[in-house]
Structure 1
Amino acid sequence: MDSVTQAALGAAVAGAVAGRKCTPKVLLAGAALGSLPDLDVLLSYGDPVSDMVKHRGFSHSLFVLMPFSLLLAWLWQKWRPTCFSFGHLWLLVTACLVTHPLLDSLTAYGTQLFWPINIPIAIPSLFIIDPLYTIPLLVVLLASLLWRDRMAKLCTVGLAVSSLYIAWSLTAMNMIESRVEQQLAGTPLAGQPVFITPTPFNTVLWRIVVQDEESYFEGLSSVIDGDTEIDFLQKPLGTWPAGLASEHQQMLEHFTGGFIRYEQRQSALVASDLRLGIGEQLAFQFALADNSNEWTAIEPIRVEGAKARLAQIPNLWLRLLGSQDIDANLCHISECPQEAVPLASR
């Protein structure tokens, strides 16, 4: 999630755990602790693919954060004595640190909760920026500064509201999963890999990506659609050159769970993460090979994708509200020429 959300979550968690001992300084310390795991963005791993794959790695690992919280609490108690017992202080530090990666694991990017075991965890029920999750936390934090005798209770209320929103997001995701399963049943795509994630800033409109061997299918579905049939666009998946070894390509395949598109642009072969973006506006694209003479793996180069435009927001908003005219042609969103195809006809 974004840094504002993580700081707000850390502050609210600190306030709730501190209880009657909560003060503005405790909230500030919680915000700092909640932001701490993301300091790994300051590290460079040598190339853009490694920077992407290894972000949310060791600094988000429960195996690292748990002992680190013990050390941090001990140092805090030793050098800055507080009114908290050591156990209470350790619980506060641990809760602020651990809730950060747990929240991150609910986004499409994925989080290595069990590093050094290389298993990215992603349950993408939240977009990386979601005001409906963040605003309740910010409101209760502001209110707690105005009514300081109720700090802990207000922080607890904020966490309860935000947790209910997470529960809703998981419920909405399950609704969309059921729609997709029903629509794919009896088609050649039944049982194929499916990725479902919310579109920007909401949990009402969801993006669906379905893969087969040579193509992927992209569609939108809103939880308030009257007609639950999803119109999909079929697009080429592309292939990686046979016999060409690339550590970075293997890293991306593992990190994305195989949701990668390969596309030749001039002499370069560009790999795009299909999980993050919409249409042609994919956030992470890398040139991994070159075909000037023959296919050769190269050091990864970050490639800029198509930029989102403000003019696209009304279309997404209308689609969120259930206007399925937008589904008939995703070009309104992504400006791609393919036509929507009914999966039942394949």
Structure 2
Amino acid sequence: MDTLTHIAIGACIGEVLFSKQLGKKALIWGALAQSFPDIDFVGAFWIEPTAYFSVHRGVTHGLFAGLLAALIFSFLADRLHRPHDIPFRKFLLFFGLQILLHDLLDTCNAYGTGLLEPLLHRRVSFNLIYVADPLFSLPLAVAAITLVFVKRSAQMQKRIALGGLVPALAYLLFCVCNKLVVDNKFEKSLRSNDINYSSYFTTPTPFNSLLWYAVAKTDTGYYIGYRSILDKKDEPVKISYYPSNLSLLQSFKTSPKVNNLVRFGHGYYSVQQQNDTLVFNVLRFGQVLGWQRTNAPFTFHYYLNEGMDDMLAVQRGRFEGWNRNTIRFFLNRMIGKETDYPKE
């Protein structure tokens, strides 16, 4: 999830669990603990970009680092708030819960989280919710801001915190239900088209849980489609084929950058030739207006040619080409409405 959402969750949980003993300082401790795993952002300033892709949400998001951080936070809180009658184990439970919740929430979107780093270099991703979803974050943000700036009774403060946490949890369950529906429809469409696939994933498109992006992997490429949970019940998912073109990587077998990208691709990546430029795509992050364009480029595209600017490879194509008409198309597609806007 985005950093502001983590901070809001931390503050709300701090209010519920620790405000009686620590007052508004509980909000600060909660926000700090929730933010800790994202300390890996400092690596972006000195780690080579393709290596940083795998460092982000790596060791600092692992369960072992979380336990160590919870112990350190507990020690600091215990010392700073003396004299007090709070058992050390309560501090440890509080900080451990905050950090664990951060890590688990990050597994809900497409980037992937290294829960068992550094022992096992395998990312966990459930693809349940887009990294920034207003319907998930807004109740939390409103609750956290209210807790910070509005003074109410202790009982009312706790109700405000729960007023942010409960809707967020309900929305996450709504996302789970939507994913089950989309998975079922995508599987049926693949079978009806006699597509032999080895694996697939579905993940939400930006800022919503209605329209989903689906990718099925085969030996030679990928079948990609979009499905809204509000599409007509029996309407199949329209699927397009995208070749993987992995043979184009033959001359890059010994390249550390390409090896880093392959690792980051988690088995879902392709290569394409654009004029004289070779482009490495990671499919997990979707396509640039893919629900509208045929053969849309992928959001994450890294230029393999020397001298190309790849500093914003993850974000570079996320909102490229968005305008009033494309937003209207997107909203209509979300609610399952057919449109007649041009595809390009």
Comparing both chains, which one has the higher relative contact order based on Cα–Cα distances under 8 Å and sequence gaps of 6 or more?
Answer: 1
1:310 aligns with one of 298, 310, 323: 323
Question: In structure 1, the residue corresponding to 2:71 is in which secondary structure?
Answer: helix
Number of equivalenced pairs: 323
Alignment of structure 1 residues 1-346 onto 2, 5 Å: 1-18=1-18, 20-21=20-21, 23-44=23-44, 46-81=47-82, 83=84, 84-116=86-118, 117-144=120-147, 145-150=150-155, 151-226=157-232, 227-239=234-246, 240-242=248-250, 244-278=253-287, 279=290, 280=296, 282-288=298-304, 301-302=310-311, 304-305=316-317, 307-311=320-324, 312-325=326-339, 332=343, 335=344
Question: In structure 1, the residue corresponding to 2:207 is in which secondary structure?
Answer: coil
Give the fraction of aligned pairs with identical amino acids, expressed as a percent.
25
User: Do the aligned residues in 1 keep the contact of 2:62 with 2:114 (CA within 8 Å)?
Assistant: yes
Aligned-pair distance for 1:196? 0.7
User: Do the aligned residues in 1 keep the contact of 2:197 with 2:216 (CA within 8 Å)?
Assistant: no
Aligned-pair distance for 1:96? 1.8
Aligned-pair distance for 1:71? 2.2
Aligned-pair distance for 1:157? 4.0
Partners of 1:56 and 1:232 lie apart in 2 by 31
Aligned-pair distance for 1:19? 5.4
Partners of 1:79 and 1:258 lie apart in 2 by 47
What is the alpha-carbon root mean square deviation over aligned residues? 2.5
User: Do the aligned residues in 2 keep the contact of 1:47 with 1:300 (CA within 8 Å)?
Assistant: no
**Residue in structure 2 matched with residue 342 of structure 1 by the alignment:** none
Question: In structure 2, the residue corresponding to 1:165 is in which secondary structure?
Answer: helix
User: Do the aligned residues in 1 keep the contact of 2:40 with 2:55 (CA within 8 Å)?
Assistant: no
The superposition leaves residues 63-101 of structure 1 with CA deviations (integer Å, 9 ceiling, x where unpaired) of 111122112211321244264332222222222222111
User: Do the aligned residues in 1 keep the contact of 2:329 with 2:339 (CA within 8 Å)?
Assistant: no
User: Do the aligned residues in 2 keep the contact of 1:269 with 1:288 (CA within 8 Å)?
Assistant: yes
The superposition leaves residues 169-192 of structure 1 with CA deviations (integer Å, 9 ceiling, x where unpaired) of 111101100111111125442433
What TM-score comes out, normalization by structure 1 length? 0.84
User: Do the aligned residues in 2 keep the contact of 1:198 with 1:207 (CA within 8 Å)?
Assistant: yes
Tell me: CA distance 1:152–1:179, structure 2 relative to 1, closer, same or farther (3 Å): same
**Residue in structure 1 matched with residue 293 of structure 2 by the alignment:** none
Aligned-pair distance for 1:119? 0.6
Provide structure 1 residue ranges, at least 5 long, that are not aligned to the other structure: 291-297, 336-346
User: Do the aligned residues in 2 keep the contact of 1:49 with 1:300 (CA within 8 Å)?
Assistant: no
Question: In structure 1, the residue corresponding to 2:284 is in which secondary structure?
Answer: coil
